Amino acid sequence: MVLSSSSLAIPSRTLHIFPSSDPPYKLLQNHPSLILLSKCKNLRTFKQIHSQIIKTGLHKTQFALSKLIEFCAISPFGDLSYALLLFDTIEKPNQVIWNNIIRGFSLSESPNLAIEYYVHMILSGVNPNSYTFPFVLKSCAKIALPHEGKQIHAHILKLGLENDAFVHTSLITMYAQNCELEHARLVFDKSSMRDVVSFTALITGYASSGFMDEARELFDEIPVRDVVSWNAMISGYTQSGQFEEALALFEEMHRASVTPNMSTMLSVLSACSQSGSIKVGNWVCSWIEERGLGSNIKLVNALVDMYAKCGDLEKANNLFESVENKNVVSWNVMIGGYTHMSCYKEALELFRRMLQSNLEPNDVTLLSILPACANLGDLGLGKWIHAYIDKNRQRMANGALWTSLIYMYAKCGNIEAAKQIFDEMNPKSLASWNAMISGFAMHGHADIALNLFSRMTNEGFIPDNITFVGVLSACNHAGLLDLGRQYFSSMIQQYNISPKLQHYGCMIGLLGRAGLFDEAEILMKNMEMKPDGAIWGSLLGACRFHKRIELAEYVAKQIFELEPENPGAYVLLSNIHASAGRWEDVAKIRTMLNYKRLKKVPGCSSIEVDSVVHEFLVGDKLHPQSKEIYNMLDEIDTLLEKAGFVPDTSEVLYDMDEEWKEGVLSHHSEKLAIAFGLISTKPGTTIRIVKNLRVCGNCHSATKLISKIFNREIIARDRKRFHHFKDGSCSCKDYW
CA-to-CA distance for 672 and 669, rounded, in angstroms? 5
Task: Tell me the sheet residues that pair with 687.
Answer: 714
- Give the residue from 380, 370, 360 showing the smallest Cα distance to 406: 370
**Buried-state track 353-373, b at ≥16 Cβ within 10 A, e below 16:** ebeeeeeebbbbbbbbbbbbb
Give the mean pLDDT of 358-364.
92
Cβ atoms 610, 682 nearer than 8 A: no
Mean pLDDT computed over 238-267: 93
**474 CB burial (10 A radius; 0-12, 13-18, 19+):** buried
Strand 687-691 and strand 714-717: pairing?
parallel
Confidence of residue 393 (pLDDT cuts 50, 70, 90): confident
Q: What are the tens digits of pLDDT across the range 509-552?
A: 999 999 999 999 999 999 989 999 999 999 999 998 899 999 99
* Buried b / exposed e along 333-347 (16+ C-beta atoms within 10 A): bbbbbbbbbebbebb
Q: How confident is the model at residue 668 (pLDDT cuts 50, 70, 90)?
A: confident
The 3-state DSSP class for residue 110 equals coil
Question: Which range scores top for mean pLDDT: 48-52, 483-487, 569-573?
Answer: 483-487
Beta strands 722-726 and 687-691 are: unpaired
Hey, which residues does 605 pair with through a beta bridge? Answer: 616, 691
Q: In sequence order, which residues have a C-beta less than 8 Å from that of residue 406 and are 6 or more positions away? A: 418, 421, 422, 432, 435, 436, 439
What order do you get walking across the sheet with 722-726 strand by strand?
612-617, 604-609, 687-691, 714-717, 722-726, 729-730
Distances (CA, A) of 679 to 370, 378, 629, 684: 29, 20, 7, 12
pLDDT range class, residue 26, cuts 50, 70, 90: low
Residues 423, 452: Cα–Cα separation, whole Å: 11
Helix, strand, coil percentages in the chain from 3-state DSSP, rounded to 5: 65, 5, 30
Q: What angle do CA 452, 456, 462 make, to 5 degrees?
A: 135
Look at the pTM and tell me if it is higher than 0.75.
yes
Q: How far from 231 is each of 155, 197, 274, 277, 288, CA to CA, in Å? A: 32, 13, 18, 19, 17
Q: State the CB neighbour count (10 A cutoff) for residue 27.
A: 10
> Binning pLDDT at 50, 70 and 90, where does residue 27 land?
low
Backbone angles phi, psi at 687, to 5 degrees: -105, 125
What is the distance between the alpha carbons of residues 485 and 436, in angstroms, rounded to a whole number? 22
Judge whether residue 145 has pLDDT over 50: yes
Structural domains of the chain sorted by starting position, each given as residue range(s) with its CATH number in brackets: 530-600 (1.25.40), 606-730 (no CATH)
In 3D space, the residue among 161, 249, 134, 162 whose CA is nearest the CA of residue 203 turns out to be: 249
Give the C-alpha separation, 669 to 622, whole Å: 12
Handedness of CA 517, 520, 522, 528 (dihedral sign): negative
**What SS3 state is found at 723?**
strand
Residue 25 pLDDT > 80: no
* pLDDT confidence of residue 646: 80
Which letter, b or e, does each residue of 69-87 get, where b requires 16 or more Cβ atoms within 10 Å of its Cβ? bbbbbbbeebebebbbebb
Cis upstream peptide for 427 (omega within 30°): yes
Task: Flag whether pLDDT at 384 surpasses 90.
Answer: yes
Residue 21: band (very low, low, confident or very high) from pLDDT cuts 50, 70, 90: low
Closest CA to 560 of 573, 548, 547, 577: 573
Quote the distance between the C-alpha of residue 119 and its chain's center.
42
| Sign of the alpha-carbon torsion through 235, 236, 240, 243 | negative
What value does the mean pLDDT of the chain take?
A: 88
Helix and strand tally (H, E) in the chain?
39, 6
Confidence of residue 263 (pLDDT cuts 50, 70, 90): very high
User: From CA 22, how far away is CA 64, in angstroms rounded?
Assistant: 9
What lies within 8 Å, CB to CB, of 22 at 6+ separation is 28, 61, 62, 63
Q: How many CA atoms lie within 13 A of 30 on its CB side?
A: 3
Is residue 284 predicted with pLDDT exceeding 60?
Answer: yes
| Per-residue model confidence as pLDDT tens digits over 303-315 | 999 999 999 999 9
pLDDT in tens, 676-733: 999 999 999 999 999 988 888 888 999 999 999 999 999 999 988 899 999 999 998 8
Q: Bridge partners of 617?
A: 604
Residue 429 in this model has a pLDDT that exceeds 70: yes
Residue type, 623: H
pLDDT value of position 661: 40
Residue 606's nearest CA partner among 379, 441, 445, 381 is 379
Pairing of strands 612-617, 604-609: antiparallel
